[in-house]
Structure 1
Amino acid sequence: MLSLSHFNRQSIKGDIFGALTSTIVALPFALAFGVTSGIGATAGIYCAIITGLFASIFGGTNQQISGPNTGLTVAMVAIVSSFVAQSPEHGLAAAFTVVSLAGVFQILFGFFKLGKYFILVSYPVISGFTSGIGVLIILSQIEPLFGSSLLDLNLSVNTFINTNTLVGLACLLVLFVWPRKFSHIVPASIIAVAGATIFYLVSASDIPVVGAIASELPSFHLPLWDSGLAGEMVKSALLIATLSTLDSLMTSLTVDSLNNDLHDSDQELVGQGIGNLVAGLFGALPGGGATMRTVTNLRAGGTTPLSGILHSLFILAIVLWAGEYTAYIPVAVLAAILMHVGISIIDWNFLKRIHKISLFSVVLMISTMVMAVVFDLVTAVLIGVFIDNLVTIRRLSELQLDNIKLYTAKEAEHLPFIERQIFTEIEDGVTLLTISGPIGFGVARGLKQCVSNADENKDLLIDLTNARFVGITSTIAIEEIILSYQDEGREVLLSSVCERVRSDFNKIKLLDKISADHVFTTRVDALVYLKYKRKNAVK
């Protein structure tokens, strides 16, 4: 978050250069994303201005540059087309309300400190998700580039020799072959835009162009709630909020790795949320952290949130005083830029090593990618995360089951000598169940199965000396074990219950089910009690 400490003579120069450089990189992308959304170039430009400004002022990553990006644009295209089809009169206004509502959700994510959970997504899911977005972007640019949709595309020579397609393919070639060492001086996207624009002016070709951007500030629109679209509006807002959050926090992690700093995830979500809240009110696309632009800002000298603020102001100045010149930019060059983005963000590094990766990870990645393309992004993420978590829980449960041991005296060599000696004396009267480490809900069934193998004529000592956490499901399983033993007239004793485990037990009043004299401070105390109980029974 911006503070007075960020304003100093040493950093301001770097922030100015960082802002200028990132502005040059951001402009073509803002135009391209705006045009692709179907709302217009202005929506992309003002997204870069508004989200960039507010995310820098209120965010938690010093060098973050925010604006429109691939996933959010793909999602917005689907939202706008769906809403307008269902409600031609109010659909577009409802879509912008979704952007503002997404901002509110992000602010709540930050307020409830959920930032750390959004980055706990496995790599195959993220890989499949981003690759799916790449495929969607490529598919969305086929019509602007070739003049027809994928289904109607004719792969004849005539398709590739028309002026619009040739301009786009030439720009795409420039984007791929432009030397990386020159990119920090003049980005390839600027070369492509400049070259295509000059060609259009010189040749006077009749090809689609972006059109002029009005040299005025966007108008304010009150949110519109369409009751017929209420369910879809909430779902779409959660999707936008999630996508923006993931993009922003992943970019923040990239910044941390480059400058050995630590961002504030929750504050970043608040800043991005405020940016999207305001963007929706002014008819702009939703935005999030933009990795390429952020890294450009960082490499060029940007060190504080001031660089992001200046970035937004520079774009605003260009729009207000030079917006009319976008009328000469061919749509084909923007399609080429996004086609390049789509191809670049597909995780080729993962795909080329697919034969070396576990089958589950490969299936998870590919299925997430396919679902992102065939269904929608939120379905892809939710199902991918759900499946991944199920498998992870199963694997953790298998490991945790190793922390549950059922002993007789012959199997208890690990016990200290005095305990082993006592245990040997009372072997025919008790079974020892030891629980170690953290025990999650996936272990509950295995816990009950373990005890079911015990001798039905013996009492049970449950030792929790090394237990550090017992979830509510496993706590209920322990309660069921205690009650079943008591119903059969057998006793259950507990030993070494630490405060954290005791807290878990108290949530369901488990300790009320056991007599206080059957809860012992140490295992040896419990064994001594059982020893004297056996002696008294013999007498």
Structure 2
Amino acid sequence: MNAATPARAASWQIFVPKLYTVLRQGYGPADLRHDLVAGLTVAIVALPLSMALAIASGTTPEKGLHTAIVAGFLISLLGGSRVQIGGPTAAFIPVVFNVIDKFGYGGLILCTLLAGLMLIAAGLLRVGTLMKYIPKPVITGFTAGIAVSIFSSQVKDLLGLPLDKVPPEFLERWSAYLQHLPGFTPAAAALAAVCIAAIVALRRWKPSAPGFLIAVILGALAVALFQLPVETIGTRFGGIPATLPSFEIPHIPFERTHELFPSAFTIAFLAAVESLLSAVVADGMIGGRHRSNCELIAQGVANAGSALFGGLPATGALARTATNVRAGARSPVAGIAHALFLLLFMLVLAPLMSYVPLAALAAVLVIVAWNMAEIESFRHLMSGPIGDRAVLLLTFALTVMFDLTVAIEVGLVLAAFLFMHRMSEVVAMESGVSLLDDEDGSEPAPDQRAQLPPGVEAFQISGPLFFAVANRLDEVLNQYRQPPRVFILRLRLVPLIDASGVTALTQMIERCRRMGTQVILSGLQEQPRRVLAQMHVVPDGAHLRFAPDFRAALELAGR
């Protein structure tokens, strides 16, 4: 019992929030000062970005601020990373836009709640450690596709097109843009271009400056001073209410849960992938180590909390997390401070936010989309094997043209099949002089096959015996014109066997039994031996025998 208690405690340690660990280790005034400065810095960056993301998602700007406040607070409070900053991110824009368009905002609330429950379950089931196995071509493909979708969604505000509603489908959207292009607003287009240029210039010559906020402020001043005929937050949405986020549940179409489930899964998947990727990058910047399953649980609670306060889906935000680290953050207190500063900004500055032009916010999202595109990573992967290129391009095309859920599913399935094919190519099944080398790795003699006892054949498998190669066992016995008296199957180079491999092996043993051939399995490793025993494939002394190595198998065959 004494030995089990520490093990049980260690298993629950992975769910302990980093905030608790930091405070327990010691937290002083200097740490608080650094965290407050970092939190203020990130809040300044998150303020215009949260509004822009909400508008691009098809809802009002305060929804983005409420998400950053509620979800950002909960992610830092309960998360498994010391410096993670949570909130709305650009990755959610396509899926959120489509859900709101099809099911209304109540449908999005239900989607976000379901996604939160999925994330909590994933954390409790310790799925966080498995997220690292998602192939890079899939991640890059849908990330680049999302970037294209974000840019596509901003053309209306970038050019000030007289378009009442932006269609959700990619081709329909661009068809509508082309139809309304003659009526574009020159002032909006010029303002967006100036804001983009200002952000790019600040990043190049003054990277520490809050480029997004400066561009938005300059845009608002230009509209106010020159009376530019462009849409603003005030003219489209009537301003931003200077009130606290309220706990209210809109009408939720529970009867359509089965229709919303795929979108909820996509939200959960994106939240998990993006938050854990952000946590990994943050670990590299601070030399720390995050708790992935604790982070997933925090993401789930934050998404559920955001939904209950009428917010959007949320996850760890890589750019804001990196800003937090560079600003000197030392603990999750910085993330909590960032949420509180945002709340203060919303309460104090809400009347002034009505003057923010939508063209300036669209310019912010254009830069976000450019950063998400990961052009260098995309180009690098395009120089890889043809299978990886196919996964990358297919995931990218499906994300842009159809649906993010379909893109993720197809990309992962194709990548899995590609991996299985490659693994099956690695597995070698061979006979001949190379079979009789000693287990110590010495070189085989050229006449070893002739040294086999009469009526004895040997065959060796190198690599995992799993379902993708199991059917190749049928070809083994077809090589011999006359059934051998004894068939030695060498498995010392087989580290793993699955149920399909055991089934194929059992069928081969049964075929040998009908032909009157005795089978000897030699050099079984621990995992194959254990799986064979679990599936009741055990030596019977007559038709099937086990030998510890090949020499012992030859001795058994000679009796």
Report the Cα offset of residue 116 of structure 1: 2.3
In 1, the alpha carbon distance for the partners of 2:134 and 2:362 equals 31
Q: CA 1:320–1:517 in 2, change beyond 3 Å: closer, same or farther? A: same
Letter in 1 for 2:478: S
Conserved in 2, the CA contact under 8 Å of 1:97 and 1:223? no
Stretch deviating more after TM superposition (347-356 or 302-311): 347-356
Report the Cα offset of residue 46 of structure 1: 0.9
Letter in 2 for 1:278: G
Output aligned runs, 1:386-465, within 5 Å: 386-400=413-427, 402=428, 404-407=429-432, 412-414=436-438, 426-454=452-480, 456-458=482-484, 459-465=486-492
In 1, the alpha carbon distance for the partners of 2:114 and 2:318 equals 24
**Corresponding residue of 2:132:** 119
**Corresponding residue of 1:199:** 222
Query: In the alignment, which of 157, 177, 202 is matched to residue 144 of structure 1?
Result: 157
In 1, the alpha carbon distance for the partners of 2:454 and 2:374 equals 62
Conserved in 1, the CA contact under 8 Å of 2:35 and 2:334? yes
Q: CA 1:393–1:12 in 2, change beyond 3 Å: closer, same or farther? A: same
Letter in 2 for 1:182: K
**Corresponding residue of 1:58:** 78
**Corresponding residue of 1:36:** 56
Q: Which runs of 5+ in 2 are unaligned?
A: 1-16, 164-172
Q: CA RMSD in A?
A: 2.6
1:231 and 2:251 correspond: no
SS of residue matched to 2:490: strand
Conserved in 2, the CA contact under 8 Å of 1:75 and 1:240? yes
Report the Cα offset of residue 189 of structure 1: 0.8
1:178 and 2:206 correspond: no
Conserved in 2, the CA contact under 8 Å of 1:73 and 1:285? no
Q: CA 1:452–1:517 in 2, change beyond 3 Å: closer, same or farther? A: closer
In 2, the alpha carbon distance for the partners of 1:317 and 1:415 equals 71
Conserved in 2, the CA contact under 8 Å of 1:19 and 1:311? yes
Conserved in 2, the CA contact under 8 Å of 1:495 and 1:521? yes
**Corresponding residue of 1:537:** none
SS of residue matched to 1:237: helix
Conserved in 2, the CA contact under 8 Å of 1:94 and 1:223? no
In 1, the alpha carbon distance for the partners of 2:196 and 2:271 equals 27
Q: CA 1:462–1:78 in 2, change beyond 3 Å: closer, same or farther? A: same
Report the Cα offset of residue 456 of structure 1: 3.4
**Corresponding residue of 2:212:** 189
In 1, the alpha carbon distance for the partners of 2:293 and 2:145 equals 27
Q: CA 1:156–1:97 in 2, change beyond 3 Å: closer, same or farther? A: closer
**Corresponding residue of 1:87:** none
Output aligned runs, 1:457-496, within 5 Å: 457-458=483-484, 459-496=486-523
Work out the number of aligned pairs and report it. Answer: 520
Letter in 2 for 1:344: N
**Corresponding residue of 1:25:** 45
Conserved in 2, the CA contact under 8 Å of 1:97 and 1:224? no
Q: CA 1:241–1:352 in 2, change beyond 3 Å: closer, same or farther? A: closer
1:276 and 2:303 correspond: yes
**Corresponding residue of 1:208:** 231
Query: In the alignment, which of 366, 390, 397 is matched to residue 363 of structure 1?
Result: 390
Conserved in 1, the CA contact under 8 Å of 2:188 and 2:230? yes
In 1, the alpha carbon distance for the partners of 2:179 and 2:379 equals 28
SS of residue matched to 1:302: coil
Report the Cα offset of residue 182 of structure 1: 1.5
SS of residue matched to 2:261: helix
Output aligned runs, 1:77-96, within 5 Å: 77-84=97-104, 92-96=105-109
Conserved in 1, the CA contact under 8 Å of 2:110 and 2:253? no
SS of residue matched to 1:178: helix
Conserved in 2, the CA contact under 8 Å of 1:197 and 1:330? yes
Report the Cα offset of residue 510 of structure 1: 1.5
Conserved in 1, the CA contact under 8 Å of 2:439 and 2:549? no
Stretch deviating more after TM superposition (471-480 or 220-229): 220-229
**Corresponding residue of 1:336:** 363
TM-score, normalised on structure 2? Answer: 0.87
Conserved in 1, the CA contact under 8 Å of 2:79 and 2:294? yes
SS of residue matched to 1:443: helix
Letter in 2 for 1:332: A
Report the Cα offset of residue 355 of structure 1: 6.8
In 2, the alpha carbon distance for the partners of 1:106 and 1:415 equals 48
Q: CA 1:319–1:515 in 2, change beyond 3 Å: closer, same or farther? A: farther
In 1, the alpha carbon distance for the partners of 2:383 and 2:504 equals 40
SS of residue matched to 1:435: strand
Letter in 2 for 1:134: A
In 1, the alpha carbon distance for the partners of 2:448 and 2:360 equals 83
Q: Which runs of 5+ in 1 are unaligned?
A: 85-91, 534-539
1:375-431 deviations in whole A, cap 9, x for unaligned? 11111111112112211211111112x2x33347x86255689x9999856532211
Report the Cα offset of residue 231 of structure 1: 1.6
Q: CA 1:454–1:302 in 2, change beyond 3 Å: closer, same or farther? A: farther
Report the Cα offset of residue 316 of structure 1: 1.0
Letter in 1 for 2:475: Q
Conserved in 2, the CA contact under 8 Å of 1:131 and 1:345? yes
Conserved in 2, the CA contact under 8 Å of 1:422 and 1:527? no
TM-score, normalised on structure 1? Answer: 0.90
1:286-335 deviations in whole A, cap 9, x for unaligned? 11111110000001100211111111111111112222221111111111
Report the Cα offset of residue 523 of structure 1: 3.0
**Corresponding residue of 2:11:** none
In 2, the alpha carbon distance for the partners of 1:33 and 1:525 equals 69
In 2, the alpha carbon distance for the partners of 1:247 and 1:167 equals 32
Stretch deviating more after TM superposition (171-180 or 27-36): 171-180
Output aligned runs, 1:231-380, within 5 Å: 231-352=258-379, 356-380=383-407
